[in-house]
């Protein structure tokens, strides 16, 4: 029931309505948000909690991120919520002139705390950027690592994207690295993160998902040995042609794996503009899929 409800929606409605209870395995005590207590402990609430334990307990009920029995991280994109209305987002102008209200910031921060609680990423909360009528992020985080994988330079993102990238690193990047190189990736080069701009740079055109901290461009990976895998140098559409080009195969795998989690995945196959990086974004609640 209420599967499409965003965390935001749940948090707003919680004060006056009983909570939906989608999973029968949650202890009954967590049904009572009024107590303000978390009956299920959060694994690792890194960003500061907005002083509202009830919000976290409420959010937990919808379980946007769960660990399966095998330890795989399941991220249900529909339940992660958005800081702005996805239906109007693409029509906005690249501008930082509007400002978030304190209520919008609080809701976004509470949601962020919950969304990142199940992850091991180093995400420092930073000041709100812009507002709801243009570019911006209500609860931005500066991500400097996904677990043991450094992000260079640190990337300013929204929390939903940060959590989804974490999932991709854990489930796709590291398994591909271990399979191909018998060693893990230790660094990701973030080519571009938050930027207030239209899709084709400055000027007209539809606003880019980068403008909402909802996109990350990745230029290269570094292995524990220090070796670099660059999208510009090592991508090849025929990378696995003879089954010998390990770097190309690694890039093909991580690119393909990203299509499970992101709404838009672009790489060198897509066009010349992406010959040197992967672009991942969450688009409009994952409602369209581009995997190129």
* Residues contributing to the site for Zn ion (CB under 5 A): 215, 217, 279
- Of 172 and 217, nearer to Zn ion (C-beta) is 217
CA distance 271 to 259: 17
Which is nearer to Zn ion, 217 or 285 (by Cβ)? 217
In whole angstroms, the minimum distance from the beta carbon of 54 to Zn ion comes to 37
Tokens of 8: 């935001």
Give the residue nearest to Zn ion (CB): 279
Shortest CB 192 distance to Zn ion, Å = 6
Least distance in angstroms from the C-beta of 210 to Zn ion: 6
Cβ atoms 79, 10 nearer than 8 A: no
Beta carbon of residue 33, minimum distance to Zn ion (angstroms, whole number): 39
Q: Does the CA dihedral 261-242-218-280 come out positive or negative? A: negative
Q: Which is nearer to Zn ion, 218 or 229 (CB)?
A: 218
Contact (CB, 8 A) for 154 and 143? yes
Least distance in angstroms from the C-beta of 119 to Zn ion: 22
In the bound state with Zn ion, the residue whose beta carbon lies nearer, of 138 and 265, is: 265
Least spacing, CB of residue 151 vs Zn ion, in Å = 15
The string of DSSP letters for the chain reads --TT--HHHHHHHTTTSPPP---TTS-GGGG-GGG---SS--S---SPP-S-HHHHHHHHHH-SEEE-TTSPEEE-GGGS--SS-HHHHTTS-S---S---HHHHHHHHHHHHHHHHT--EEEEE---EE-TTSSEESS-EEEEEETTEEEEEEEEE-HHHHHHHHHHIIIIIHHHHHHHHSS-EEEEEEEE-----BTTBSSSSSBPGGGGT-EEEEEEEEETTS-EEEHHHH--TTTTSSS--HHHHHHHHHHHHHTTT-SEEE-TTT-GGGTT-EEEE-TTTT-S-EE-
Give the nearer residue to Zn ion in terms of CB position, either 167 or 279. 279
- Min separation Cβ 287 and Zn ion, Å: 19
- Return the number of the residue (54 or 188) whose C-beta is nearest Zn ion: 188
Contact 137, 83 (CB under 8 A): yes
Q: Which is nearer to Zn ion, 181 or 191 (CB)?
A: 191
Nearer to Zn ion, 20 or 257 (CB): 257
Closest separation in Å from C-beta 195 to Zn ion: 8
């Amino acid at each position: 029931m209420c599967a499409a409800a965003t965390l935001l929606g749940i948090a707003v409605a919680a004060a006056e309505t009983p909570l939906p209870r989608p999973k029968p395995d949650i202890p009954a005590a967590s049904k009572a948000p009024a107590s303000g207590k978390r009956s299920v402990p959060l694994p690792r609430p890194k960003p500061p909690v907005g002083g509202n334990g009830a919000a976290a307990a409420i959010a937990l009920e919808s379980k946007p991120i769960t660990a399966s029995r095998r330890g795989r991280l399941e991220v249900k994109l529909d339940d992660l919520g958005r800081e702005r209305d996805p239906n109007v987002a693409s029509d906005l102008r690249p501008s930082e002139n509007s400002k978030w209200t304190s209520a919008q910031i609080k809701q976004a921060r509470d949601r962020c705390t919950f969304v990142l609680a199940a992850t091991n990423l180093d995400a420092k909360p930073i000041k709100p950027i812009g507002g709801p009528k243009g570019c911006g992020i209500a609860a931005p985080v500066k991500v400097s690592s996904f677990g043991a994988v450094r992000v260079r330079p640190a990337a300013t993102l929204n929390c939903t994207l940060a959590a989804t990238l974490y999932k991709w690193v854990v489930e796709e990047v590291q398994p591909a690295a271990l399979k191909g190189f018998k060693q893990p990736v230790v660094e990701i080069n973030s080519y571009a993160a938050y930027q207030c701009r239209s899709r084709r740079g400055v000027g007209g055109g539809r606003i880019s998902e980068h403008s909402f901290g909802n996109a990350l461009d990745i230029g290269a990976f570094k292995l524990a040995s220090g070796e670099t895998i660059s999208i510009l140098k090592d991508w090849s559409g025929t990378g696995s042609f003879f089954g010998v080009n390990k770097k190309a195969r690694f890039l093909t795998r991580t690119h393909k794996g990203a299509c499970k989690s992101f709404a838009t995945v672009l790489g060198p196959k897509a066009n010349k503009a992406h010959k040197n990086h992967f672009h991942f974004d969450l688009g409009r609640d994952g409602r369209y899929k581009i995997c190129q």
